[in-house]
Chain A
Amino acid sequence: SQTIHQWPATLVQPVGSPLSLECTVEGTSNPNLYWYRQAAGRGLQLLFYSVGIGQISSEVPQNLSASRPQDRQFILSSKKLLLSDSGFYLCACTGGRTGELFFGEGSRLTVL
Chain B
Amino acid sequence: SQQGEEDPQALSIQEGENATMNCSYKTSINNLQWYRQNSGRGLVHLILIRSNEREKHSGRLRVTLDTSKKSSSLLITASRAADTASYFCATDAGGGADGLTFGKGTHLIIQP
List the A side residues contacting B44 at CB < 8 Å: 103
Partner of A92, one of B2, B92, B99: B99
Interchain CA distance A43-B43 in the complex, whole Å: 11
Interchain CA distance A59-B95 in the complex, whole Å: 14
Q: Is B104 interfacial (CB 8 A cutoff)?
A: yes
B31, B33, B43, B99: which has the most chain A beta carbons within 10 Å?
B99
| CB nearest to B9 among chain A residues | A41
Interchain CA distance A42-B2 in the complex, whole Å: 10
| CB nearest to A10 among chain B residues | B40
The smallest C-beta distance from B105 to any residue of chain A, in angstroms, reads 6
Interchain CA distance A105-B41 in the complex, whole Å: 5
The answer to whether A32 touches B42, judged by C-beta atoms less than 8 angstroms apart, is no
| CB nearest to A42 among chain B residues | B104
Tally of contact residues, B, Cβ under 8 A: 25
The answer to whether B2 touches A49, judged by C-beta atoms less than 8 angstroms apart, is no
| CB nearest to A59 among chain B residues | B98
Partner of A104, one of B42, B102, B103: B42
| CB nearest to B98 among chain A residues | A49
A to B contact number (C-beta, < 8 Å): 62
Interchain CA distance A99-B48 in the complex, whole Å: 9
The smallest C-beta distance from A27 to any residue of chain B, in angstroms, reads 15
Partner of A98, one of B31, B35, B41: B31
Partner of B92, one of A46, A57, A88, A99: A99
Q: Using a CB–CB distance below 8 Å, which chain B residues touch chain A? A: 2, 4, 30-31, 33, 35, 40-45, 48, 88, 90, 92, 97-105
Q: Using a CB–CB distance below 8 Å, which chain A residues touch chain B? A: 4, 32, 34, 36, 41-44, 46, 49, 51, 57, 59, 88, 90, 92, 94, 98-106, 108
A-B contact list, 22 entries, CB within 8 Å: A32-B97, A34-B99, A36-B102, A42-B104, A43-B88, A43-B105, A44-B88, A46-B101, A49-B98, A57-B97, A57-B98, A59-B98, A90-B42, A98-B31, A99-B31, A100-B45, A101-B45, A101-B90, A101-B100, A103-B42, A103-B44, A106-B40
